[in-house]
Amino acid sequence: MQTVAQLANDIEDELDHRQFRANLYANFTDGAFSENDLVGQKLKLGDKAVIAILERDPRCKMITLDPETGEEKPEILRHITRTQGRYAGLYAAILVEGTVKPGDAITLLS
């Protein structure tokens, strides 16, 4: 969530985290884009689920569209392209299935 907050600050506009259409959102203590350091790592989510972080997520026009109104804000993608090489977020693969709930612990395994 720090990455979304930082992007909103950078473009001086409000962003709805749902614009990124992620399956999972996390609050990390290391600040915006710290998730980039997780590529190649495994994470345990909650009591059982384990995911492997595969790569950074190359973004497309969809993140410029407000999920409620459909209003387009192209400056989001322009900024991410200019500052992050068009990447924001991560792709992961499920290694061990399990239920994940809001507030569950996220543990770095490797």
Tens of pLDDT, residue by residue over 51-65, are 999 999 999 999 999
Tens of pLDDT, residue by residue over 72-85, are 999 999 999 999 99
Task: List Cβ neighbours of 42 (8 Å cut-off, separation of 6 or more).
Answer: 50, 51, 52, 53, 95, 108, 109, 110
Token digits for 29? 């203590």
Task: Report the C-alpha gap between 10 and 87 in whole angstroms.
Answer: 15
pTM, full prediction: 0.88
Answer yes or no: are the C-beta atoms of 32 and 85 closer than 8 Å: no
Cα torsion 34, 26, 63, 54: sign: positive
